[in-house]
Amino acid sequence: MSLTKDDVRKIAFLARIRVPEERLEPMAGELNNIVGWVEQLAEVNTDGVEPMTSVVETETPLRADVITQRAISDKILANAPDGEGSFFAVPKVVE
Amino acid sequence: MSDLRDWTIASAADALTKGETSSVELTDAFIEAIEANRSLNAFITETPELARHRAAESDARRASGDAKGPMDGVPIAMKDLFCTEGVRTTAASHILDNFVPTYESTVSGKLRDAGAVMLGKTNLDEFAMGSANITSYFGSVKNPWTPEGANADLVPGGSSGGSVAAVAGGLAIAATGTDTGGSIRQPASFTGLVGMKPTYGRCSRWGTIAFASSLDQAGPLTRTVEDAAIMLQAMAGHDPKDSTSLPIDLPDFRSACTTDVKGLRVGIPDEYTLDSMPAEIQKLWDQGAQWFKGMGAEVKPVTLPHTKYALPAYYIVAPAEASSNLSRYDGVRYGLRVPGDSLDEMYELTRGEGFGEEVQRRVLIGAYVLSAGYYDAYYVKAQKVRTLIAQDFKKAFADVDVILTPTAPSAAFAKGEKMDDPIAMYLNDVFTVPASLAGLPAISVPGGLDANGLPLGLQLITRVCQEETLFRAASALEAAANFTARPGDAS
């Protein structure tokens, strides 16, 4: 399977990364090299093999279901590029 | 003050305890060295005032009999991937170049609480994606080592390139690193240092900027194996804020640093012999096996049949997790925002401008392998291969206690090499990625110099949570190799 320029445009939108028009073709080449290389995994027989879901087998401890942090909205907003009051501000999304 | 590269954590702790020096005196010497060596570009943000303040606090604690332990008062460097309260944290990315965390990562907080003095935040590959420290928004890092008789600038390895340049160049006694596929061990090998990646989950990932969450692990970069043990003790431990951090007690790592390897079974994996590998690396690897034999260890071949597939599996799993982790950089809550007419346009422009080329490439690969219709063929397949790789190790560890390999397939290379071909760059991690995929602890120990006078490392890998075995074997290897060379010795 080979990625086209249009595929790259579509993936770039999925990833919300603006790739300039003139970079789409070279990027398709670069991604195809990488994808072509990882496709060698197809030759590995993985019948009946479970995909790894946990790196180290261990029990996940439960914590008490209590509030540990409150009234930290000023800290959360401290790095916001744009905000009003205790809100993040974004471009208008509803007409 | 004498050659700053003479200091280890252990020797500094000793000198501080005996009152032969103070933390302020030590810290000032390292601040001066940092200022005199800015051409290495090892630091993104220097924090001399904070360092002096913490050094003075350490000296005051010691004066009142409240010194905390071997890290207290020791000047270290912090990879700029650990969030530090009130100190800019960038991940070497334009998208975070104005980010000042309002909280402290667990690892940096533990080191701070142990009394360590942070000198500054070190350079790295952008979001830790790279093996040469050439993808940083803040410029590449220069390796303090130069090839004998030549004047070329070499890369320090990556992604923890600033951390190793700082320690090898005598700008810090030790440094933190993070390792996703080799980002502690490979740069340690390129700079003649000890680099240790503990078992996945030993160190909390909380507050560490995420790359690939099922692989990311913090660890120490130090001059000696004993220092690695001391520093890991301070960094590791269960953290309720990271559900993957291991809920088990820490052993005493430092006391494991004996050199007694009599009867230790050392495995040599057949599959780690590469045709393209320089003969000197093969020779050093053989020498390593001989050293272990000479010390009474039992050396035998083991087989890890799926080794060849580790790197391609990694380059599906890591970008997939990265594309998900990096979705948080959206220009809304923190970091760069590039205005756009719609929300989507704002996202696209922000991420298009904020992420560098390699990060974009990996996020796109990740978005592709996770997209509808391809998820099973790529991501699930890679996670199955990952299971097979972990099983390979499990079988091998029924016969041996540790596995000995080269750390990297080459010594440090010149800036500009391997830059046009991402896959050639990815091959740097061919020996380090398998242990990462299996979550195993592994350490790189300097073994010797190549014909150009550049350091080469040997890697030891062991079972999950057997760091003590690793420290014992690594201490023995360190004693046998007796690596004393330093950058600039030859030229």
Percent of chain B with pLDDT over 70: 99
CA distance B338 to B331: 7
A35:B368 CB<8 A? yes
Tell me the pLDDT band of A29, cut-offs 50, 70 and 90.
Answer: very high
Amino acid at B306: H
Q: How many domains does chain A have?
A: 1
On whether residue A30 sits in a domain, the answer given is yes
Q: Is the pLDDT of residue B268 over 80?
A: yes
A11, A56, A80 member nearest B439 (Cβ): A56
Q: Is the pLDDT of residue A1 over 70?
A: no
Q: Is the pLDDT of residue B467 over 70?
A: yes
A41:B309 CB<8 A? yes
* Partners of B414 in beta bridges: B154
Q: Are B306 and B392 in contact (CB under 8 A)?
A: yes
Helices (runs of H) and strands (runs of E) counted in chain A = 3, 2
CA distance B109 to B107: 5
pLDDT on residue B311: 96
Question: B390-434, pLDDT tens digit by residue?
Answer: 999 999 999 999 999 999 999 999 988 777 788 888 889 999 999
B384:A60 CB<8 A? no
Q: How much is the mean pLDDT over chain A?
A: 92
Cβ neighbours for B277, distance < 8 A, ≥ 6 positions apart: B406, B409, B410
Contact list, A11 vs chain B (CB under 8 Å): 364, 367-368, 371
CA distance B153 to B148: 12
Question: Nearest to residue B168, comparing CAs of B40, B38, B75?
Answer: B40
CA distance B434 to B445: 18
Residue of chain A with shortest Cα separation from B202: A56
Residue of chain A with shortest Cα separation from B420: A30
On whether residue A83 sits in a domain, the answer given is no
Shortest alpha-carbon distance between residue B179 and chain A (Å)? 15
Question: B194-235, pLDDT tens digit by residue?
Answer: 999 999 999 999 999 999 999 999 999 999 999 999 999 999
Question: B298-314, pLDDT tens digit by residue?
Answer: 999 999 999 999 999 99
B79 is catalytic: yes
Tell me the pLDDT band of B1, cut-offs 50, 70 and 90.
Answer: low
Percent of chain A with pLDDT over 70: 98
User: What is the DSSP secondary structure assignment for residue B61, as one 8-state letter?
Assistant: H
Contact list, B390 vs chain A (CB under 8 Å): 52
Name the residue with tokens 């004998």. Answer: B148
Helix, coil or strand: residue B410: coil
Percent of chain B with pLDDT over 90: 93
CA distance B323 to A33: 19
Contact list, B345 vs chain A (CB under 8 Å): 91
Q: Provide the b/e sequence for B362-374 (b: ≥16 CB within 10 Å).
A: bbbbbbbbbbeee
A3, A38, A61 member nearest B315 (Cβ): A38
Q: Where are the domains of chain B?
A: 1-491
Q: What angle do CA B297, B301, B304 make, to 5 degrees?
A: 125
Q: Are B285 and B406 in contact (CB under 8 A)?
A: yes
Shortest alpha-carbon distance between residue A2 and chain B (Å)? 12
Strands A87-88 and A83-84: antiparallel
pLDDT on residue B247: 92
Question: Nearest to residue B450, comparing CAs of B40, B103, B154, B64?
Answer: B154
Of all helices (H) and strands (E), which one includes residue B216? none
CA dihedral B257, B457, B220, B151 (to 10 degrees): 140
ipTM summary value: 0.95
Q: Is the pLDDT of residue B262 over 80?
A: yes
Strands (E), B223-341: 265-269, 298-302
Tell me the pLDDT band of B241, cut-offs 50, 70 and 90.
Answer: very high
Catalytic residue among B22, B58, B79, B163: B79
Q: Which two tokens stand for residue B251?
A: 């052993």
B159 is catalytic: yes
Helix, coil or strand: residue B302: strand
Residue of chain A with shortest Cα separation from B312: A38
Contact list, B247 vs chain A (CB under 8 Å): 58-59, 61
Residue of chain A with shortest Cα separation from B322: A15
A8, A52, A91 member nearest B342 (Cβ): A91
Question: Nearest to residue A14, comparing CAs of B378, B323, B335?
Answer: B323
A56:B201 CB<8 A? yes
Q: Is the pLDDT of residue A58 over 90?
A: no
Stretch B91-108: mean pLDDT: 98
CA distance B285 to B402: 14
On whether residue A38 sits in a domain, the answer given is yes
B200:A56 CB<8 A? yes
Shortest alpha-carbon distance between residue B317 and chain A (Å)? 11
Separation of CA A62 from chain center: 27
pLDDT on residue B148: 86
Separation of CA B307 from chain center: 21
A42:B381 CB<8 A? yes
Q: Are B153 and B271 in contact (CB under 8 A)?
A: no
Q: Is the pLDDT of residue A64 over 70?
A: yes
pLDDT on residue B491: 41
What homologous superfamily does CATH list for B1-491?
A: Amidase signature (AS) domain (3.90.1300.10)
Contact list, B357 vs chain A (CB under 8 Å): none
Catalytic residue among B105, B136, B159, B160: B159
CA distance B337 to B352: 11
Contact list, A72 vs chain B (CB under 8 Å): 102
On whether residue A23 sits in a domain, the answer given is yes
Contact list, A58 vs chain B (CB under 8 Å): 201, 246-248
Tell which of B206, B364, B421, B437 to mutate to test the A interface (max A CBs under 10 Å): B364
pLDDT on residue B455: 98
